[in-house]
Structure 1
Amino acid sequence: MLKNFWYAVEFSAAVTGSPTPVKLMGENYVLYRGEDGQVVAMRDRCIHRGASLAGGWVEGNCIRCPYHGWRYEADGTCVHIPADQAGTPIPKRARIDSFPIEERYGLVWLFVGDLPAEQRPPIPALPEYGDPAWRMITGEYTWNAHYTRVVESGLDSSHAPFVHSVFFNLRDDAEVPPYEVQMEDWSATARTISKPPKRAGLLKLIVKRDRPFSSATLTAHMPNINRIHLDFNFRGYQYIYFASNIPVDENTTLTKWIGLRNFLPQAWADWNSRKNTNDTYLEDKAVIESQVPRVVPLTGEILLASDSLQLAYRKLIRQCVERGWAVGSDYGIPSVSVSTNGNGKAPIEVSVG
């Protein structure tokens, strides 16, 4: 788990004038929206006797502790202790850690780390959000898995014929053509070409049977964002899956996702998009939750040419760990070397050590 990134921890619509608890990297936080409309984030622990502020209430732009009524300003400073007599000075240590917040793409982004604003990695772009040409749905689900395994699943095109039989039922045609990975400071992207997936659900009605190929542009935005951009290669129809895979703790990931499509813009078609996403999650869940060790990068795994995007993601993780940004368990990441069979293609074996 990595600090010094913006984490999309909740949908904006879910944060109101009542305290909302969230958990990130094993730490508890509380969100609320003050009367000025701004979202506030604090550590969910009263400095007095350790009670959870999530059980309290909001007054103006402040939050009250439910145990003894201590009132905290949006910056975490305590401004009222009901048990004290009027005029009693409030201890300078009576304050709670507060954290930077951004609202973007209908999500609340929380920054936990020690970097000044100008040095923080940016929030990933989602330019299609709010564009009337794209119909949006949202959802969430939970994994009993480390977030790195969840992210890597969203970068993996070679598992589709074996895990997602609804759309990919040709196990004898699982070859992944060579692809290039584009790496930036905080992301890795690849475009993969494949034979068209099986038409299922409403796709039977709107996409023709015979198409030469379809494509998927897969991106990992550090440390926990998947963007999957599907192009059906028919009338420009596309679907985008943008997911914040929240590291709740070492063993739990909560995914908040946005789905965008530029076809069938009517509300009645939302159920199909949501069903397809949830069905895919359930298929992936069974496999991802079985993986050991639970966290990547790892020793003892062999990565091939088809895993080049996952290798790039692991390289980015390693760079962050080397910066001293790791939180929780030690990743234990030594150097990584790569060897090929001489033609630049498969197999590629990754040696860790």
Structure 2
Amino acid sequence: MTTASESELLTRVGPGTPMGNMMREYWIPALLSSELKADAPPTRLMLLGEKLIAFRDSDGRIGILDHRCPHRCASLFFGRNEEKGLRCTYHGWKFDVDGNCLDQPNVPAHQAFPERVKAKAYRATERYGIVWAYMGQRAEPPPLPCFEAVMIADEAERNQFCVQRECNWLQGLEGDIDTSHFSFLHMGAMTPDKVDPTSTGRYALINPAPEYHVADTDWGTMYAAYRPAEEQSTYWRVAHFMFPFWTIPPDGAFTDHVIARAWVPMDDTHTMFFHVSWKKNTPGLRKLKDGSQIPGATIGNKFLPNDTSWLGRWRLAANTSNDYMIDRDAQQLDNYSGIDGIHLQDQALTESMGGIVDHTFEHLAVSDLMITRTRRRILQATRAAAEGIAPPGVDNPETFQGARGGDFVSANTIGWLQAYSDEMRASKNPTGTLRIAAE
């Protein structure tokens, strides 16, 4: 059981917290590149409990600053993004993307001191459609992440989107490393005779209670849920947790399943979910045997219009205020949850736990082995980081390239790590990155 003190350590991410400090050692996805236009108004950005503003200057460079002007603490959200900097509209002080003060127009020239004033600024960069922030204390930031899903250079081949979730980052993330809920929340109204007979995902309906192998890895943790398949073979669903808040879910054919998800804490009770994947992925079980879509198994999300509030980005139209548009009639017929959409089904259930779930109320089972192992791994790394030990993969992110998720069938004479390594070697890699097979 996760104790109250462990839960506090796992879920609190603000400045000065052990978890927040550990996460700040990594580059963090902050926004989609498409959210910032040159010389456009700044955007409010809530990240790890800090109120920030983000903007793109005249040269296309990105600034991520504390929203408070260091003069009188008026919010720079109301600033003018102009001529390679952001000008506070209270007294006209101007700052560049690095926080340097460029101008103090309300101070006589002979008494100005711009060289002694600096706005709090975080390192920012962008690559392949994502704006990254480094919020740690290092003079030189660590290398950027380089696992498959974030290295797809061709915009036409990558799928990226964000969704805000109104709950703690950990309960959102744990939904991605919990394999057995697939057979219920998403597919509970289906039986094997109803679905696409060519999909390996049908084995999850034949046997909804898999057994597990779980292990610590250099990048975090991994599991392989396994069930009997055809004669002398085993059906595997493999997924990963990667520090500090990434997952690689199992729902898709392993051979081309290039995907990752970041569960980035906005604050303790709000999370920004970043999805990145290869468009040529073969999706998991989605079709009935006649080729039509399984009821409720849609993928797309419908959003409310973004607004300029601290929590105003990427909110779903179906949400707690309308019970996620649950259809109770459909729930009794062919949609187990009554909620339309794979992501929305997950969102409804993880948000229903509350802003931060009371972990002392849980009764975990063998089906939660990956969750308990991952919590332990995170706790160990967080405590070690507090003692000055670099968190996993910060300085050598290439080790994360050993992680790939998905499902496959192999001969049951092969051990799980060997089966995983064989699939890694046989799989497609669209990114040009080196992949390291587990041994």
Task: Return the TM-score normalized by structure 2.
Answer: 0.59
* 1:153 maps onto 2:153 in alignment: no
* 1:180 maps onto 2:203 in alignment: no
Q: Where is the helix percentage greater, Structure 1 or Structure 2?
A: 2
2: CA distance, partners of 1:244 / 1:168? 30
State the Cα deviation string for residues 78-106 of structure 1 (Å, max 9, x = none).
22122122332226653211111232332
State the Cα deviation string for residues 135-155 of structure 1 (Å, max 9, x = none).
322222221110010011111
| Contact preservation (8 Å) 1:228, 1:240 | no
Could you tell me which runs of 5 or more consecutive residues in structure 2 were left unpaired when the two chains were aligned: 1-12, 14-19, 192-203, 283-292, 302-340, 388-439
- Matched AA of 1:283: Q
| Contact preservation (8 Å) 2:240, 2:247 | yes
| Structure 1 residue corresponding to 2:85, chosen from 62, 66, 70 | 62
| Residues 126 and 30 of structure 1: CA distance in aligned 2, closer, same or farther (over 3 Å) | farther
* 1:283 maps onto 2:317 in alignment: no
| Residues 162 and 62 of structure 1: CA distance in aligned 2, closer, same or farther (over 3 Å) | same
* 1:15 maps onto 2:36 in alignment: yes
1:106-255 to structure 2, matched below 5 A, reads: 106-117=129-140, 120=142, 123=145, 125-126=147-148, 129-130=151-152, 135-165=157-187, 173-184=207-218, 186-193=219-226, 215-232=236-253, 236=255, 238-255=256-273
- Matched AA of 1:311: T
2: CA distance, partners of 1:164 / 1:16? 38
Instruction: After TM superposition, give the deviation of residue 319 of structure 1 in Å.
Output: 2.4
| Residues 322 and 129 of structure 1: CA distance in aligned 2, closer, same or farther (over 3 Å) | closer
| Residues 81 and 157 of structure 1: CA distance in aligned 2, closer, same or farther (over 3 Å) | same
Q: Where is the strand percentage greater, Structure 1 or Structure 2?
A: 1
- Matched AA of 1:252: H
| Contact preservation (8 Å) 2:161, 2:275 | yes
2: CA distance, partners of 1:134 / 1:168? 34
- Matched AA of 2:43: T
Instruction: After TM superposition, give the deviation of residue 31 of structure 1 in Å.
Output: 1.7
For CA contacts below 8 A with separation 6 or more, give which structure has more relative contact order.
Answer: 2
2: CA distance, partners of 1:67 / 1:167? 59
2: CA distance, partners of 1:168 / 1:194? 18
| Contact preservation (8 Å) 1:239, 1:261 | no
State the Cα deviation string for residues 203-261 of structure 1 (Å, max 9, x = none).
xxxxxxxxx8764432222222222254437xx5x444422222111111121212323
| Contact preservation (8 Å) 1:215, 1:232 | no
Corresponding residue SS for 1:99: strand
State which drifts further: 152-161 or 136-145.
Answer: 136-145
Task: Return the TM-score normalized by structure 1.
Answer: 0.72
Corresponding residue SS for 2:177: coil
Corresponding residue SS for 2:28: strand
Alignment correspondent of 1:71: 94
| Contact preservation (8 Å) 1:124, 1:221 | no
Corresponding residue SS for 1:276: coil
1: CA distance, partners of 2:189 / 2:239? 17
State the Cα deviation string for residues 96-149 of structure 1 (Å, max 9, x = none).
11111232332111111223436x485252257436698322222221110010
Instruction: After TM superposition, give the deviation of residue 281 of structure 1 in Å.
Output: 1.7
| Structure 2 residue corresponding to 1:310, chosen from 357, 362, 371 | 371
1:36-51 to structure 2, matched below 5 A, reads: 36-51=59-74
| Contact preservation (8 Å) 2:70, 2:119 | yes
2: CA distance, partners of 1:291 / 1:253? 14
State which drifts further: 13-22 or 300-309.
Answer: 300-309
2: CA distance, partners of 1:325 / 1:12? 32
